[in-house]
Every structure is written in C-alpha cells, then in structure tokens.
C-alpha cells in the first residue's frame, strides 16, 4: 500500500538533519563559540550570532515536555491512526522537537516522562524519529 502521509521537504538548512535520520541519527548544530545546541537549524547561533558550527549526534533519549491526543484527522491519511499522539520531546542535549509518542496507551502518558527514540521507516523514503516511553 502506498504511503500517503505528508513527508518532510528538506531544504538547505534542514537537509543535514534529515540525512542524519537516514542513518538513524539525530543530528543537531552546536555553536563552537557558546556551545548552544540549536533547533531548528540555522546559519547562525541565536544566542551569540556566531556562525562557527559543528554538527553533533544527539543521544536517543529525552522526555515528554508536552503532548496532545488527536481525535480528528485533519489529513485523511491519519484517519486509521486515531487517536494518535503528537508531542514535544525535550532531548537530553537540549533541543525541543515535535514528534509522535508510539507504543503506549495515550491515557498513560505524562509530561516529563522519559522517552527513547524509535525509528519509523515505513515511508521507505524518510526515517522519522518517533519516541516511546523508556520503560516499555
């Protein structure tokens, strides 16, 4: 069955992140001047305006900063997933990223719950970093 959900559209700024995902790695920019790890990607550091940057590979752990449960599909390809969870996960390294929490009953989730990445390669084009509770 064809994959009908929207896919990322990498651009000049975000391409290194999505290329990292193809290797099951979460890659972020780290400022060489002030050590701030930033997301979303940018040509300069929003903290100190330095353009001197490294790409680092983040650990696969974080915590749920906040989450919601979709009960309406605003796109038909998500109808079979209802109810599904989107969340902002705070990674151990600092960045906050929008993702899904999978493999858990939505009613069991809580803010600040530790989570670990699970890679979703079902589109066969992009590996999507999703997360599940650490203890499951």
Partner 1 sequence: MSLRKLRDKYAIVGAGYTSQGRIPDRSALSFYVEACVNAIKDAGLRKEDIDGLICYRQFQPVANDVVVTPYLLAQHLGIQPKILSQESYCARGHFLHAISLIEAGFCNYVLIVYGDNALSGKRSFVKGATNSEPADDNAAFGEFGRAAQFAMAARRAMYEFRTGPETWKEIAVCQRKWANLNPIAMMYDKPMTYEGYFNADWVVEPFRLYDCCLISDGGRACIVTSTERARDLRNPVVTIMGIGEHNTSVDIHQSDFMAGPTGANMAGKMAFDMADITVKDIDACEIYDCFTYTVEITLQDYGFFGPGEGEDWFKDGRTAPGGIMPVNTSGGLLSESYFMGLTPIAEGVMQLMGRCGERQLGAKTGTKEPEIILCSDNGAVFQSHATLILRRS
Residues that bind partner 1 (CB under 8 A): 5-9, 14, 39-40, 65-75, 78, 81, 83-84, 86, 88, 90, 95-100, 106, 110-112, 126, 128, 130
CB of 36 to Zn ion, least distance (A): 5
Q: What SS3 state is found at 118?
A: strand
For position 36 contacting Zn ion by CB under 5 A, the verdict is: yes
Answer for which of 20, 25, 26, 31 binds Zn ion (CB under 5 A) is 31
Answer positive or negative: Cα dihedral of 86, 95, 134, 123.
Answer: positive
Q: Which helix (H) or strand (E) holds 18?
A: helix 15-22
Q: How far is the CB of 52 from partner 1 (least distance, A)?
A: 22
Query: Please, what is the minimum distance in Å from the beta carbon of residue 32 to Zn ion?
Result: 8
Take residue 1 and report the two structure tokens written for it: 């069955």
Q: Which is nearer to partner 1, 2 or 98 (CB)?
A: 98
End-to-end CA distance of the chain: 29
Return the structure tokens found at 88. 């902002």
DSSP letter (8 states) at residue 53: E
Q: How far is the CB of 97 from partner 1 (least distance, A)?
A: 7
Local structure of residue 114 (DSSP, 8 states): E
Closer CB to Zn ion, residue 46 or residue 76?
A: 46
């Amino acid at each position: 069955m064809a994959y009908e959900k929207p896919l990322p559209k990498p651009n000049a700024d975000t391409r290194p992140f999505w290329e990292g995902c193809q290797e099951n790695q979460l890659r972020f920019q780290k400022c060489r001047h002030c050590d701030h790890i930033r997301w979303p990607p940018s040509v300069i550091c929003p903290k100190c305006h330095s353009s001197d940057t490294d790409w680092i590979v983040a650990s696969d752990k974080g915590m749920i900063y906040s989450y919601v449960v979709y009960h309406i599909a605003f796109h038909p390809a998500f109808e079979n997933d209802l109810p599904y969870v989107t969340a902002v996960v705070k990674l151990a390294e600092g960045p906050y990223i929008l993702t899904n929490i999978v493999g858990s009953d939505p009613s069991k989730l809580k803010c600040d719950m530790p989570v670990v990445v699970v890679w979703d390669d079902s589109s066969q084009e992009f590996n999507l970093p999703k997360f599940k509770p650490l203890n499951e």
